[in-house]
Structure formats: structure tokens, C-alpha cells
A and B are shown apart, each in its own frame.
Chain A
Amino acid sequence: MSQNIEFLQKRIFDKDSLAATNFKMFPGSNRDVSAEQFAEEINKSLSRLESGDFEVLDI
């Protein structure tokens, strides 16, 4: 299994990590993205959120 996918799986599902119960996504504009690239971008996103790179959305 690819490194990013394995890291994402642990990060999302480990009981002492997020212990996720659901994950869904909206893909981007490039149709040639691999599962590994999706996982890499989600991992980066979770790290960015943890480092404070976010604004609360005003709907």
C-alpha cells in the first residue's frame, strides 16, 4: 500500500487519533488524480488545519 494512503488511514481511523466515523470528498478538476495523490492532499489539509490555516465559513 502507498505511504500516503496508509498514513491517512491511521490518521483518520486510529482510536487515539481522530477515530473517524465517516469521510467523503468532492474531487477536483483534474480527472487523472491517483488515490495516492488524493491521500497526500488530504493529509496536507489535515496538517494545515492543525496548524491554524483555516477561516470559519460564513454562510
Chain B
Amino acid sequence: MEKFKELYEHCQKIQIPVSRKDIQPKALSITGATRIAAVKSTLDTDIIRGYFLSASNTEARLVQQFGCNVIVLARSLNYCWERFVFTKELMHLFDLDDEKTSNTLELETLLSNFEIPDTNGSKQFKSDIKGLWMALACLCPESERLKFKDGIEKGHIDYYGIALQIKIPEKYVKYYFTDAYERIIKTLLA
């Protein structure tokens, strides 16, 4: 994950709330992707909040419209959700070849793994989960996370207050203060 480490280190220098304008160009330059389009459209957020699609047929209408990489977000997402889902999907530029959903069986397995979450899910499913932790790491520099952790321990701030400062859904703030966060980020940076 050398490439992700480079992005992570870049994000450590950014003030909160970390802007997608700071993350996206760096992610493109590190991965060598020439472009990624992001659009908002109608999606039922009970079912799906957004997705990342990388396509190679330049004759296809969608590829002509958006280029090879596109992030599609539900139009109804609020600002914090939009930032978070966008950033998580952007992380799939960093997918290794064997993590990419690149054939019909892998797609069917991915959808099945979301239906019945399996701790022993496919590499594609694990990559989807990994993207979430990568997004969290990009959207809150470690120095700020440690300050927030201290603030929580002292009872000076709560998850809602942190969510307002880093502009992500409150639901995900608690992830920063779990043992899993430090373990997973350490693995991603190893």
C-alpha cells in the first residue's frame, strides 16, 4: 500500500475539514489515473448511496460522457454523507488488480457479500470495506484525531461535535476511536 501511504501522508498536512479538492488531484497523480468524474443522480439510498465504476470501452455512451472512471452519488445525500461516500469511492483508484471487481462472478459474489456480510468475504468485498477505513484516514489527520480522542476522554467534545468539524456522518466518527482503527490504518501503511 505504498501509494496509499503517500496519500495518507499528504492528508496529514491539510487542515480540517479536509477538502476533496486536496484529496482528489493527489489520488489521481499517485495512481496515474488521468481523470475521474463525479456525478449526482437518482439513487434509492435505502439500497445504495453511491458507486465507483471503471470502464474501458471508449465506444460506450457512459465512457464518452464521463471518461473511464466515474463516481455516482445519490442526489439526496447531505453534504457530510456526500463527502464521505465520494472519498470512500475515490479510494478504489488504489485497488490492487486482484481486488478489482473485473468479471461477472466477482460482481455476483460482491453483491451477495453485501446481502450476507461474511467475515471471509471475497477480496473485492474486503476492498470495499478497506476503502471506508482509507477514507476515514484521509478525512481526519492523525494529529487532529488524537486531539479529539483526548477531548472525548476529558468529556469536552462528543461525536456530533467532531462530525461537525471534520464534516463526515456522525455515524462514522466512533470508528476513529476503536482499536480497529489504529490496527487497520497501521496495516494499510505497512
Residues of B at the A interface (CB closer than 8 Å) are 19-21, 24, 37-57, 59-63, 65, 71-73, 75, 82, 85-86, 88-89, 92, 95, 100-104, 107-108, 110-112, 114-115, 124, 127-128, 131
Chain A residue with Cβ nearest B125: A24
Chain A residue with Cβ nearest B127: A24
Q: Is the CB of B62 within 8 A of A41?
A: no
Q: What number of A-B contacts does a CB cutoff of 8 Å give? A: 161
Residues of A at the B interface (CB closer than 8 Å) are 1, 5, 8-9, 12-13, 15-30, 33-35, 37-39, 41-42, 45-46, 48-50, 53-57, 59
Task: Report B-chain residues with C-beta under 8 Å of the C-beta of A13.
Answer: 102-104, 107
Can you sample 23 A-B contacts with CB below 8 Å? Answer: A9-B108, A17-B57, A18-B53, A18-B60, A18-B62, A20-B54, A21-B100, A22-B54, A22-B102, A24-B89, A24-B127, A26-B51, A38-B111, A38-B115, A45-B72, A46-B62, A48-B42, A49-B39, A54-B40, A54-B72, A56-B37, A57-B39, A57-B82
Q: Is the CB of A29 within 8 A of B46?
A: yes
Q: Is the CB of B46 within 8 A of A59?
A: no
Q: Is the CB of A25 within 8 A of B43?
A: no
Q: Is the CB of A45 within 8 A of B111?
A: no
Separation of A46 and B44 alpha carbons in the complex (Å): 13
Helix, strand, loop or mixed for chain B's interface?
Answer: mixed
Task: Report B-chain residues with C-beta under 8 Å of the C-beta of A57.
Answer: 38-40, 71, 73, 82, 86
Q: Known: A33-B114, A37-B47, A38-B111. Contact between A22 and B53, CB under 8 A?
A: yes
Q: 6 smallest A-B Cβ distances: which pairs?
A: A35-B111, A19-B57, A57-B38, A9-B104, A18-B55, A22-B100
Task: Report A-chain residues with C-beta under 8 Å of the C-beta of B92.
Answer: 22, 24
Chain A residue with Cβ nearest B70: A49
Task: Report A-chain residues with C-beta under 8 Å of the C-beta of B19.
Answer: 59
Q: Is the CB of A59 within 8 A of B21?
A: yes
Q: Is the CB of B62 within 8 A of A49?
A: yes
Q: Known: A22-B92, A49-B65. Contact between A12 and B53, CB under 8 A?
A: yes
Task: Report B-chain residues with C-beta under 8 Å of the C-beta of A25.
Answer: 48, 50-52, 110, 114, 128
Separation of A19 and B100 alpha carbons in the complex (Å): 13
